[in-house]
Amino acid sequence: MTKEVPQPSSGFEFSEHEKLYDRISDARFMEMIRDERTTIHDVTTSSNNYGEFVFITASRPNASKLDCVTFFGLGYHERRERWITDTWSWYDAHQTEERLAITVDRQEVEALIQARRDEIAEDMKHFPSEQSQSGILYEFLADLTDEDGAATELDDLFDAGFLDEQ
């Protein structure tokens, strides 16, 4: 048996659960954003393969360098068929020195987050409150594997005729 190689500590101090699921609670996210050790570099509303979300890139110092991550949330996840409002997903963000030199005021970020919450509050009323079987299955597979893997698996099941709805 080989010895496990110790990993460097993260400036964001994610728990094992947060690392496993690449997701943190909204309350924990807001704590991180408000923490003086956190520098915010970019805030934007944009789309990815799964829907339109708020993306926030931030960094924190660790023992030897800066850890930089991008968080995203506050949007409708089309494949999961539900609003993502109580958690934020995150991924490592590799930024250039020029991008890291840009900073966004913390109060401005909080105001933008609140504006997004207000914006989607009305939209949330117009979507079904329950997921379809496809949405439930997708969410289950995505939590076990990853978003892209779950999408591929579901597409294959539909193409093979094992599932009726998409």
Task: Judge whether residue 19 has pLDDT over 80.
Answer: yes
Total residue count of the chain as it appears in this document:
166
φ and ψ at residue 71, rounded to 5 degrees: -100, 150
Tell me the per-residue pLDDT of 88-130, one tens digit each, with 9 for 90 and over.
999 999 888 899 899 999 999 999 999 999 999 999 998 878 8
Q: What integer pLDDT is reported at residue 141 of this predicted model?
A: 93
Q: What integer pLDDT is reported at residue 161 of this predicted model?
A: 87
Which residue type sits at 20?
Answer: L
Q: What integer pLDDT is reported at residue 2 of this predicted model?
A: 58
- In the predicted model, what is the mean pLDDT of the chain? 90
Over residues 151-157, the mean pLDDT reads 90
Task: Judge whether residue 8 has pLDDT over 90.
Answer: no
Q: What integer pLDDT is reported at residue 68 of this predicted model?
A: 95
Instruction: Report d(CA 59, CA 41) in Å as an integer.
Output: 8
Q: How does residue 64 score in pLDDT terms, banded at 50, 70 and 90?
A: confident
The model carries a pTM of 0.87
Task: Judge whether residue 57 has pLDDT over 90.
Answer: yes
pLDDT over 90, % of the chain: 66
Task: Judge whether residue 24 has pLDDT over 60.
Answer: yes
Q: Are 84 and 117 in contact (CB under 8 A)?
A: no
97 vs 10, higher pLDDT: 97
DSSP-assigned letters across all residues of 70-115: EEEESEEETTTTEEE-SEEEEEE----HHHHH----HHHHHHHHHH
Which tokens in the block code for residue 162?
A: 């094992």
